[in-house]
Structure 1
Amino acid sequence: MIRDEPKQRLVAEGGIAAATNAEVGEGADVVFVMVVNDEHVRDVLFGENGLIETLRPGAAVILTATIGKQQAQDIAARLSGKGIHMIDSGVSGGLPGANAGTLTLMASGPKAVFDENLDVLRAVGDENGIFHVGEEIGAGQVVKACMQALVGVTFQGTFEALVLGAKAGVKAEVLLDVLGSSVVGSTLFKRTTSFVIDRDFVDTGSHIAVTWKDLGLTLDLAREAAVPMPSTALANQLFQTGKTMFPGEDNWAIVKVLEQMADTIVTSDKA
């Protein structure tokens, strides 16, 4: 389904709206496909009025959705049958990075295709954050899966630390200031803690269900590669719990799961 509101915003910014995916592909040299899951990707590309109907041989699809290694390879093979190139490029940076055009890109596929489309990648990616991670389609998915493992356990550790501090009588701003200036003071820690302090759990651009899906794909790859990932598995279960309890909310809402378990609330000077 093509939503009307984003189309209106595009037009307001000087863009040209299209009625169908096929219309987007008409005359296009490169098309970004940035959707949630494998089903959405296949619908955009191969569904009714899909891009496959109009993209010319030699055009490129830049796939930024996190869908898994095998799925990306299957889609690339199908596009290749029509003479269409694909760059498999996971992204990181969230809503702020997307809005600023400073996403980190982990692109895989033939280097020649990557080089040919580098200027297009620079339109959405940070100049120092665009990486060619391998010639084989799917390598981008693998790098993103590794990143999501670290994201998941960082979320889990952040929530646990905040709840421990709250239960033991330390306000969240103190943890933000001290831990944020320490070796563990990542951008993710600081951003997550700020949202928790503000109790801002809805419409922040980072939904629980997406992270839960991504962690599931990481664990799928771990099973395929016979790699034990106990911390990631626990983070996935925590997100499963949060998705069940707070299905319409964003990642930061997971803290409420641990708050309920510990019978406390992460407090701040704003409270």
Structure 2
Amino acid sequence: MKVGFIGLGIMGKPMASHLAKAGVDLMVADLNQDLVKELELLGAKGGTYEEIGKSCDIVLTILPNASIVKDVYFGENGVAQHMKKGSLVIDHSSVTATDSRECYDKLKEMGIGFLDAPVSGGQEGAVRGSLAIMVGGDEADFRLAEKEVFCHYGSSALLIGGSGSGSITKLANQIIVNNNIAVLAEALTFATKAGADPEKVFQAIRGGLAGSQVMEDKAPRMVNRDFVAGGTIKVNHKDITNVINTAHAIDCPIPFTAQLYEVQQTLKVHGCLNDDHAAYVKYFEKLADVTVKKMED
């Protein structure tokens, strides 16, 4: 079975690398040809959308937003118009359920399967091959994907329901993750302002009920001032915008996430969009006029 992978960014590159290292017959594409060449060194082959569409049984995408996804599929010389009936497209991008269902319907008319399959775990999870994959679509397509590709870069994959279910699950995930990071940032800012060492506060509470994977990943970044992006505020701002728009469409109040959106907007104004989302702490630091960092012994 031949697999195509389009989008070799911060998540896509390690995911595709796992496929190549596993010996999957892989063809890749990205606007950045240097990234394509890196995958070729691992055994993949670079290709155009047309070449990927014509030769691949499964095509995977992970792209910045829904507009780009749709253009790659259905735009001029898009990959879908070259794919044979019975093939499968899997989108790992974070988009709305409406966008995913639109792709599902269009591809189904062409005789092509579609799964919306966003992932959680960040860059670290992609590198480790331990992503959680949340999937919407048809069960037969899911079983094929589970056997042929998900097993190489995911620690878990679950079919949530019909088309769009994966995208809804990812948005719910982003509500939890992003609010969790923001509350952690607020707590460490509070501790710092009160005179406690935020590093020791983290060490003291990490094993209790407040402990979480978010805390393990983000507290060290905050206290070490490490904001080199694993997951950028820019990407998460896009996801939270999708949450806000979806919630408004279904009349679901989301007061905490609405406030988080304003935190992101403030950081956008201050030029922090390309920081890791651990940099939410900068918002709270500004309010409290302190800097969260390790205290000298």
State if a TM-score over 0.5 links the two structures: yes
Deviation sequence 1:206-243 (CA, Å, 0-9, x none):
11111011111112221122111101111111112112
Secondary structure at the residue paired with 1:243?
helix
CA contact (8 A) 1:91 1:105 kept: yes
1:210 is the counterpart of 2:238: no
Offset of residue 205 of structure 1: 2.4
CA distance in 1, matches of 2:274, 2:158: 33
Determine helix, strand or coil for the equivalent of 1:205.
coil
Within 5 Å, which residues of 2 pair with 1:12-31?
12-18=41-47, 20-31=48-59
Preserved contact between residue 197 and residue 270 of structure 1 (Cα < 8 Å) = no
Preserved contact between residue 224 and residue 293 of structure 2 (Cα < 8 Å): no
Per-residue CA distance 1:65-90 (angstroms, 9 max, x = gap)? 11101111111111112111001112
Cα distance, 1:49 vs. partner?
3.0
Inter-partner Cα distance in structure 1 for 2:195 and 2:211:
21
**Which residue in 1 is equivalent to 2:293?**
267
Give the TM-score normalised by structure 1.
0.93
Count of matched residue pairs: 266
Match of 2:146 in 1: 118
Question: Aligned residue for 1:137?
Answer: 163
Indicate the larger mover: 154-163 or 115-124.
115-124
**C-alpha distance in 2 between matches for 1:85 and 1:259:** 48
What letter corresponds to residue 127 of structure 2 in structure 1?
Answer: N
SS of 2:60's equivalent? strand
* Paired residues of 1:152 and 1:236 also in contact (CA < 8 A): no
AA aligned to 2:246 is L
Deviations 1:11-66 (A, max 9, x none): 12121112x22222221111111112101101221223321132111111111111
The residue type equivalent to 1:52 in the other structure is A
Q: Distance in 1 between matches of 2:73 and 2:235?
A: 21
Q: Does 1:61 align with 2:61?
A: no
Give the conservation status (yes or no) of the 8 Å contact 2:222–2:293.
no
Q: Which amino acid aligns with 1:14?
A: G
SS in 1 for 2:219: helix
Distance 1:242 1:63 in 2: 29
**1:66-85 equivalence runs, <5 A:** 66-85=94-113
2:184 paired with 1:158:
yes
What CA distance in whole angstroms lies between the structure 1 residues aligned with 2:144 and 2:176?
31
Structure 2 residue aligned with 1:8: 37
1:32-51 matches, within 5 Å, as 32-51=60-79
- Offset of 1:5 from its aligned partner? 2.1
Query: How large is the RMSD of aligned CA atoms in angstroms?
Result: 1.5
Change (3 A) 1:62 1:253: same
Percentage of matched positions with identical amino acids: 29
Question: Match for 1:256 among 282, 285, 294?
Answer: 282
- Report the Cα offset of residue 175 of structure 1: 2.1
Instruction: State the distance in 2 between where 1:243 and 1:190 align.
Output: 25
